[in-house]
Amino acid sequence: MCIRVHLWIKNNMFFRVLQIAIPFVWFGAVGAISFMEAPLKFTAPNITIPLGLGIGMIVFHTLNRVEIVLCILLALSFFMARSKGKFAPGAFAVIALILIIQTFVLFPMLDERAVAVINGTASPFSNLHIVYIVSDSIKVLLLLILGVSLARGSIKYE
């Protein structure tokens, strides 16, 4: 059994499976949190905007850490089992770039705004959430396309 697992990893099958699975898992996580949990939490009884923002900060920072791990694992899978063609690595590069921008640019600005809203000192309107939603939408769409592309590329027709 141990030899079989070792050969499976050595032959890059493990990394090819990761290449297919990770985009779909990542897609599901971002889709569930960004497009379901985030808007729905504000419809719950007795949830105030400051309370919802506090919960949102915790949830989105946790999701961001999970995304970083998935991004690293996907990068490792591309390194270990090179995919054929340029689309998959290119799509992954765009996804990784979006994640980097969200992590190091958008999150700090959104956190600052959320704290200001919680403290009652925020300006009435900001485009930051729209920018984040658009970037997440692009990322989710690319993850789905990447996953389908990698899955199709691994199917052998006879």
Please state the domain extents for the chain.
2-154
What is the distance of C-alpha 129 from the center of its chain?
16
The per-residue pLDDT for range 50-68, each reduced to its tens digit, is 999 999 999 999 999 999 9
DSSP secondary structure, the chain, as one string: -HHHHHHHHHTTHHHHHHHHHHHHHHHHHHHHIIIIIHHHHTTSTT--HHHHHHHHHHHHHHHHHHHHHHHHHHHHHHHHSPPSSSHHHHHHHHHHHHHHHIIIIIHHHHHHHHHHHHHT---S--SHHHHHHHHHHHHHHHHHHHHHHHHHHH----
pTM score, whole prediction: 0.89
Q: Which residue has the tokens 């059994």?
A: 1
**In angstroms, how far is the first alpha carbon of the chain from the final one?**
29
**What are the phi and psi torsion angles at 40 (to 5°)?**
-70, -30
Mean pLDDT over each residue of the chain, to the nearest integer: 90
The per-residue pLDDT for range 81-95, each reduced to its tens digit, is 877 778 999 999 999
What is the distance of C-alpha 156 from the center of its chain?
29
Amino acid 126: pLDDT: 86
